[in-house]
Amino acid sequence: QVQLVESGGGSVQAGGSLRLSCAASGYIYNSRCMGWFRQAPGKEREEVASIYIGTGSTYYPDSVKGRFTISKDNAKNTAALQMNSLKPEDTAMYYCAAARTVVVGRPFGCGFDYWGQGTQVTVSS
């Protein structure tokens, strides 16, 4: 079983920055990817960043590319999401996730199996 706990959410004005952290515990050594997703009220969940653990390769959708950066620390079993130049449309609950399942067609073939409880990010204009 894998447990993921997010921290670092909060409120910030547009143009500001936040750094989210994800602490992983349990049997995570076979995870293929770590990722961050977000979901705003009334909207579908959106993948905003993922990292392939084997190579460190990263994926970002166009909506956050150039503004968000995902990183991982294998020794500490943590992942982070640095968010810069935040916009009001970035307001959402942000979730950390870990992937073991292979899903054809997804970035790095990663299907996410484990999820944290989420941390709220609010960006005001």
Task: Report the first-to-last Cα separation within the chain, whole angstroms.
Answer: 40
The string of pLDDT tens digits covering residues 78-107 is 999 999 999 999 999 999 999 988 888 889
The string of pLDDT tens digits covering residues 29-80 is 678 899 999 999 999 999 999 999 889 999 999 999 999 999 998 888 899 9
Q: How far is CA 42 from CA 38, 83, 92, 93, 117, in A?
A: 12, 22, 10, 12, 18
The CB density around residue 25, as the number of other CB atoms within 10 Å, is 11
